[in-house]
Amino acid sequence: MRSNPSDYEMVAPGNLNSIVSLLASEPGVWLPIAGGTDVMVQYAAGKLPARKLVSIWNLPELRRIDVTASEIRIGAGCTYTELRKHEVVAREFPLLHSAARWTGGIANQNRGTIGGNIVNASPAADSLPALLVYDAELILVSVRGEHRLPYAGFHTGYKKTLLAPDELIQAVCLPRRFPGYFSHARKVGARNSQAISKVCIAALGRLTDGVVEDIRIALGSVAPVPLRLTETERTARGNVIDSDLLLLARKAAIAEIRPIDDIRSTARYRAAVAGNLVAEFLKLLSSQRTMRNDAGVNAILTQWNRLPIDEAVHEILPCCGSKAWGRGMVAKRPFESEAALLAASDETWRDLTKSDWMEAFDSHPRIGESRSSLPLSPAQSVEWSAQEQRNVGEAEAAVKKALANENREYERRFNRIFIVCATGKSAQEILEILRSRLDNDSDTELHEAAEQQRQITQIRLKKWLQG
């Protein structure tokens, strides 16, 4: 049953001192709201228990991001859009940057705030595992003043926190001491974004001479609260990553979590996925040993690692065509080997939204056609497309005509161009692949196209490193 607006009162004092005074005058009565993305869901369903609301939206004291030599201090009222666009967040805290991209759609990212995500206390929240592995601290404010406490332990149970009725979260503080760590984030859900996680992971790791020197792993949606896997970390720390350790870490992770059955998934599935995600992270971390043992780092990669963000995105963009992929890759720098770059590319591509995939697809010409219809495509991408489709250009006229006809049918059916990794394939092979994929349903074909784009990106990255 929908709520009745006349049952609610809302005020907007406009400054922090007035708001904390109001909270202190009637503790537990007033509900602070910022972007309102969670509150409006409850309101629309007639399940919002609070009847008095106080707006903390756009308070200057809560919207600042301050960077010092030792930490970054993010105002609790900062939106996910602001986090996505902040250079230091993107460069030094890629796990939080990824979570900001995953959190809802653009509209929710424009309104949703990091403080609201914390106070809402959902164990499935995308940003909270990242805060755990980055050793975040919270600054709480009330009429009694400010005090600072570790974020770890802030959640005391399902939808319960240490926040007193008269307190607000003023800021989230992250220490700037993780530049040498390998980072990994992944969300498993019905979709890559705009979906609540079935399981999500945020993890950091650092190797010394092939041994795990430090490791930090946190999961969401596997317990009543976002969970740091301290026992799993102890299992891995001080050891070489091999098949035995992967098995032990998988078992340790499953033993630490407390998943449940709900409408999104089952406890059994979540346990299996959690173990797989931890093992996947450790495998990726182990690749860093090869990176550091390389006699030298590719000169192009070395130079690219040092470029400013916008230049680095522009430089690598022809390899894929998706700006979100380019920004995601830049956020994961520095890379010390081709293997690390390729692994990060797969991870970044997998985490993109459908619209990001479509942007990459749209950067290609039709099979068998020139790129004249895409004048804004980078020159390097034009050259690579010509190389990849060389065999099609040399095909017989009948095959070219058949490709043109099937291209039109594909576009009529799926409303986008046909994407295939053409490198090394004859025109006849491509034609047969195109015809077979016309039988796919929309979702299957979308993911097939995404897989083909992933392969294209891998090939182009290797060419890019060769100069």
Calculate what percentage of the chain has a pLDDT beyond 70: 94
pLDDT for position 102 = 81
Instruction: Please determine, for residue 26, whether its predicted confidence score (pLDDT) is greater than 90.
Output: yes
Contact 99, 130 (CB under 8 A): yes
Under the banding of pLDDT at 50, 70 and 90, the label for residue 333 is: confident
Residue partners of 202: CB distance under 8 A and separation at least 6: 95, 99, 129, 130, 132, 133, 184, 185, 217, 218
Average pLDDT over residues 216-242: 97
> Residue 410's pLDDT band (boundaries 50, 70, 90)?
very high
Q: 294-467 domain in CATH 1.10.3330.10?
A: yes
pLDDT of 184 over the 80 cut: yes
Ranking 214-218, 249-253, 337-341, 453-457 by mean pLDDT, the lowest is 337-341
Grade residue 335 by pLDDT with cuts at 50, 70 and 90: confident
pLDDT score for 297: 57
List the single range of 109-118, 129-138, 242-251, 342-351 with lowest mean pLDDT: 342-351
Type and span of the H or E element at 198 = none
Across 61-65, 195-199, 295-299, the highest mean pLDDT is recorded for 61-65
The pLDDT value given to residue 292? 45
Model confidence at 388: pLDDT above 70: yes
| Res 87 pLDDT > 50 | yes
Token code pair at residue 108: 């929710």
CA 368 centroid distance within chain: 35
Can you tell me the distance from the alpha carbon of 277 to that of 271, in angstroms, rounded to the nearest whole number? 10
What would the two tokens of residue 114 be? 């990091």
Question: Looking at residue 302, what is its pLDDT?
Answer: 84
Written as one string, the DSSP assignment of 377-411 is S-HHHHHHHHHHTHHHHTS-HHHHHHHHHHHHHHH
- Decide: residue 323, CB within 10 A, 0-12 exposed, 13-18 middle, 19+ buried: middle
Hey, is 127 helix, strand or coil? Answer: coil
- Which residues have C-beta within 8 Å of that of residue 46, sequence separation ≥ 6? 1, 2, 3
DSSP state at residue 181: S
Average pLDDT, the chain: 88
Count other C-beta atoms under 10 Å from residue 369's C-beta.
Answer: 19
Rounded mean pLDDT, 191-218: 84
| Count of C-beta atoms within a 10 Å radius of residue 376 | 5
Q: What does DSSP say about strands 52-55 and 30-33: parallel, antiparallel, or unpaired?
A: parallel
CA 354/CA 415 separation, integer angstroms: 13
Question: Could you give the 3-state DSSP secondary structure of residue 10?
Answer: strand
**What's the rounded mean pLDDT across residues 39-58?**
86
Of 294, 278, 258, the closest CA to residue 157 belongs to 258
Going by pLDDT thresholds of 50, 70 and 90, the confidence category of residue 6 is confident
**H or E, element range at 370:** none
- Who's near 424: CB < 8 A, 6+ residues apart? 391
* Burial (CB count within 10 angstroms: exposed 0-12, middle 13-18, buried 19+), residue 352: buried
What pLDDT band is residue 372 in, cutting at 50, 70 and 90?
very low
Q: What is the C-alpha end-to-end distance of the chain, expressed in Å? A: 62
Domain boundaries, the chain: 5-55, 63-175, 184-292, 294-467
Beta bridge partners of 208: 211
Whole-prediction pTM: 0.67
* Predicted pLDDT of residue 83: 94
One-letter amino acid of 92: E
Alpha carbons 160 and 121: distance in angstroms, whole number: 7
Residue 73: which of 83, 84, 64 has the closest Cα? 64
| Domain 63-175 in this protein, CATH class | alpha beta
Residue 100, Cβ neighbours under 10 Å: how many?
27
For 184-292, give the CATH class. Answer: alpha beta
Helix (H) or strand (E) holding 367: none
Q: What is the mean pLDDT of residues 386-400?
A: 80
Residue 214 CB-half CA count within 13 A: 12
Q: Which residue has the tokens 């990459």?
A: 360
- Supply the pLDDT for residue 132: 98
Whole-number Å distance between alpha carbons of 291 and 58? 45
Mean pLDDT, to the nearest integer, of 431-441? 91
Could you give the dihedral angle defined by the CA atoms of residues 190, 153, 118 and 144, in that order, rounded to the nearest 10 degrees?
170
**SS3 of residue 306 by DSSP:** coil
pLDDT of residue 1: 59
Give the residue with greater pLDDT, 88 vs 291: 88
pLDDT at 370: 52
Rounded Cα gap, residues 160 and 183, in angstroms:
29
Render pLDDT for 104-161 as a digit per residue (tens, 0 to 9).
778 888 999 999 999 999 998 999 999 999 999 999 999 999 999 999 999 999 999 9
pLDDT at 432 over 80: yes
Lowest mean pLDDT among 140-154, 177-191, 401-415: 177-191
Output the CA torsion sign for 77, 83, 86, 89.
Answer: positive
The answer on pLDDT for 294 being more than 50 is: no
